[in-house]
Amino acid sequence: MKKLTPILRGDTYYIRMRVPKRYASIDSRTFVKLSLATDSMEVARRKAPEVWAQMIEAWEAKLDGQVEDGDARMRAARNLAKRRGYRYLDAADVARLPVAEIVARAKSVVDKRGRLDMKEADAALGLVPVPTVTVSEAVDEFYNVAGDRVLGKSPDQLRRHRAPRLKATKNWIAAVGDKNLADVTTDDWFRFRAALLADVAAGKYLSASANKDITYLNAMWTAIAQVKQIPLTYSVKGVPLKDSKAKKRTRLPFADDWIREKILAPGALDGLNADARYILLGMVNTGYRPSEGAGLLPEEIKLEGKVPHILIQPNRNRALKNEHSERYIPLTGISLDAFKAMKNGFPRYAANSAGLSAVVNKFLTENKLLETPAHSLYGLRHSFEDRMLMGGVDERIRRDLMGHGLKREKYGKGGDMEFVHGLMLPLAL
């Protein structure tokens, strides 16, 4: 690149540079003269590289705006507006500006010969059409703009993440129609609410399920609008359904005697497929989530050494529920025996654990192994937690083993593995 040598013209320094060939398609000049807005040679030398870099960035923004893609054209206009020292506004908002500012913006889009520069006009006058995304397109677009939210999820986890969002979208279109997100109104949301309320009254959904539709749609659309700069004009205040009679569904823990005398009775689980049976048995003294047990890789099952244990961590089979879920759990009692029998993991459910709970709960129901109709496989997790509580295990260690967050700041390691293993041994079934 030619040396940036400031040139004094009158009482102001400038730089005069040839327009690079790369930008010939968006700037017809052979040379550009850029003011450094100073009469000091020392200041001019310091400012010259910065002013030239800003000119390059403006040209690059114009190049971006040449493509047909609407998103890229919008980004280019916003970048160029920033380079020119003003905020990008759409045409309607530009029209509401003070007259002097409108005139200043209008003057900036023509060169000294009076020729209109459309890229400058896009930026100064807000002429780029707002990108459009319809309700039906929003699910795919959400994963385009917010892919980091599902990073590391297995195909099965991704399918389960998408399913309720697709359901909510289908319900919206049936009730309201397939509109552009920018055109969705608060009235539309209350039409949707009315449809959900009718389904709840008819017994098709619980209020909590209906409210999830509202949450999923609003979260997706807000994320898309933020990235694509789509103005959303609606409010969801007052839209979620209220149900004062609803009670939070709890998963009941099994009594230890029930586990010993019924579930662990000789032959009680023989009719259950081996993978499901050993996942259940592994859960008794670890309290892991069923999907966490199912997704274990052989190298995460540590049976050698002083403390046999499993490692719950992100792997190719699954992402974890949250940051607190990554942990080790010592193996004791019937759970240690289960992992000795299945030291290579559970291939039947490793990549897709979606049907695991249904298979186990059906078996437990048919064989009268549920303590009450309200019990389920997940109750074994709560039984393990209750056993630790009754055994006097410190809250910090209980939360670490369950994969729960601690409501206060954590200090130290929470007890080494041998220490924790020693606490678990007397509690094992």
Domain edges within the chain: 7-125, 135-228, 256-427
264-273 long-range contacts, Cβ below 8 Å, gap at least 24?
264/334, 264/429, 268/367, 268/369, 269/363, 271/363, 271/367, 272/359, 272/360, 272/363, 273/348, 273/359
User: Hey, what's the torsion of the CAs at 203, 205, 206, 211, to 10 degrees?
Assistant: -140
User: What's the Cα-to-Cα distance from 225 to each of 79, 99, 169, 392, rounded to whole Å?
Assistant: 18, 30, 16, 50
Alpha helices in 35-154 (DSSP H): 41-64, 70-83, 91-94, 99-107, 118-125, 135-145
- φ and ψ at 329, to 5 degrees? -135, 120
d(Cα 328, Cα 400) in Å, to the nearest integer? 8
State pTM to two decimals.
0.53
User: How confident is the prediction along the chain (429 residues), in pLDDT tens digits per residue?
Assistant: 557 888 998 888 988 888 888 888 777 778 888 888 788 888 888 888 887 887 777 777 666 555 445 555 556 656 666 666 666 556 566 667 787 777 777 676 676 666 766 666 666 665 566 667 899 999 988 988 877 777 777 777 788 888 999 999 999 999 999 988 988 999 999 999 999 999 988 888 888 889 999 999 999 999 988 887 788 889 999 999 886 454 555 679 999 999 999 999 999 999 999 999 999 999 999 999 998 898 889 999 999 888 999 998 887 766 666 666 788 999 999 999 999 999 999 988 887 777 888 899 999 999 999 999 999 999 999 999 999 999 999 888 898 899 886 654 444 444 588 899 999 999 999
Look up residue 42 and give its two tokens: 């020392």
The second-level CATH assignment, the architecture, of 256-427 is Orthogonal Bundle (1.10)
Task: Kindly report the number of other CB atoms within 10 A of residue 144's CB atom.
Answer: 12
